[in-house]
Amino acid sequence: MNPEPIDTRARSVTFFEDRARVCRVATVEVEEGLNVFVLRGFSAVVDDDSLAARITDDSPNEAVIKACQVERVFDTEMDGRSEDHGELREKVQALRGELAEKNALRRRIKLALNRTAELERELLNRLAENPGGKALDAKSWRKALTSVREKISEKTEVLRQVNTEAAELTDRVDRAEKLWRRSLQEEPKMKALVEVQLEAAQAGEVALEFEYFVPCALWRPSHVARVDRDTQRLTVITEATVWQATGEEWVDVDAYFSTARLTKPSSPPLLDEDILQAREKTKEERRTIQAEVREQAIDDLADARRSVDEMPGIDDGGRPLVFSARAKATIPADGSALRLEFGRAELEVELTQDVYGELTASPHLVATGTWTGPAPLLAGPLTLIRDREYAGRSRQDFVAVGDQLQIGFGQNHTVRVQRRVDESRDRTRITGKQRLDREVTLYLSNLGAKPERFEIVERVPVSELAEVDVSVEAGAAEPDRDGFLRIPVTLKPGETRKENFRYRVTMDSKVKLAL
């Protein structure tokens, strides 16, 4: 006669990049001598070789484990566990009705947002026309435009929230419908049981602990960055997004997150011979110097990208780390994503507004500081919050403790920038030297009601050849070694200004350069 299976409880789960290590506990009643128990609660995909059983240190009775093995059996039962198909059908209908209401609300918000945007365009058109040449009441017009734009911003934020809720409801409806369909059929399910043989010196209770690995569970880091422009402080919240479809119940467990890669052995790179070949230059090569212009991306080791189309791994800078969730968690086994906070840091930053005229027509708010968190900042998706408003999503690269942290928080549309480039080429008749003059002109406007301070960031070519010389006009700001030139600007409310700078590229007569 087989013994009745005994329930076990998951105490802690450690997530890795592609698996999880589970710690389960159970208490059994033993008699003096040899005892055999069967325990349940284990996933059918448990890694048999990784299973380890031991008597806990706080066990009330002493015993010795003689054997421990995994047995898998098939059991025919209604899928859906405690909920029958009628309850699942009612749940699906309720979720469908909630989703329909959410979609209707979304359509109403879009309609109201379009009407408000049309009102803003109408106000701007009337302001541009100024019928009759009458004097404008600037305060009333500014107040009207500010009110309309505040409504647009408010409705946009509400629409974003409703879209997020609708997407989550759609996922819930899909999962509920799948469970409902599966609950209509009886399917043979495989489940794992663990048989333990232990010998006790006397009758009493024995506390057991099991550790093992399971697939179908993983985690990835993500961050939320919130900047306060009044106090110039940045708060970074780090979360672990976890998934698990092991079939196990993980209720009120201690969750840990590791960056160790258990399946990737460490080995030195293979060394190959590097063969160099030399040849004499041709007459054409000795007579001319072929120079190429290239766009050089300024990266560091943390900016490496994967070249294959797969879910990105965890970038920990090469040092395995382990993090723990701030509170116990209940992680569903349906494969849905769950976010668990495990890190929070607050630091002082310097807020600047940078204008990259070649790319955008408005300045970007950038927070720069030194990362002083208790652990490195892992690479992952980044949600941006400027003061109390949503500013978008980005990607954060790995930042070590003590390194510079730089995060952009979107554009300031009250400042507009237009850019124009004029150039002229010339060649001297006697020496044949070539000269290229370029002038960059920037037209700046402040449409807001308060002063704006920002920096214009422009690029100047950097030469690697002695035959090519690049010089910036005297009086302009000096570019750094990477060729970036920064011009500080302060604009009063309603002020417009023109900024320009010139640089000259002088080349030897033998140089062939396309610029």
- pLDDT tens digit sequence for 212-246: 999 999 999 999 999 998 899 999 999 999 999 99
Interatomic CA distance for residues 59 and 150, integer angstroms: 64
Is residue 264 classed as helix, strand or coil in its secondary structure?
coil
Query: pLDDT tens, 302-332?
Result: 443 443 344 456 777 778 889 999 999 999 9
Interatomic CA distance for residues 356 and 231, integer angstroms: 26
Q: What is the pLDDT of residue 295?
A: 64
- pLDDT beneath 50: ranges in the chain: 1, 78-83, 133, 300-311
> In 483-507, which positions are buried (b, 16+ CB within 10 angstroms) versus exposed (e)?
bebebebebeeeeeeebebbbebbb
- Nearest of 36, 68, 35, 37 to residue 53 by alpha carbon: 68
Q: What is the pLDDT of residue 301?
A: 40
Interatomic CA distance for residues 472 and 483, integer angstroms: 11
Going by the DSSP 8-state scheme, the letter that residue 388 receives in this structure is: T
Q: What is the pLDDT of residue 14?
A: 96
Element (H, E) at 156: helix 138-183
Per this entry, what is the length of the chain?
515
Distance linking the first and last C-alpha atoms of the chain: 87
Q: What is the pLDDT of residue 121?
A: 83
Interatomic CA distance for residues 244 and 246, integer angstroms: 6
**What are the residues facing 187 on neighbouring strands?**
77
- Nearest of 61, 3, 51 to residue 31 by alpha carbon: 61
Interatomic CA distance for residues 373 and 321, integer angstroms: 14
Interatomic CA distance for residues 452 and 491, integer angstroms: 5
CB distance 43 to 214 below 8 Å = yes
CB distance 411 to 466 below 8 Å = no
To which residue do tokens 């294959």 refer?
308
Q: What's the pTM?
A: 0.65
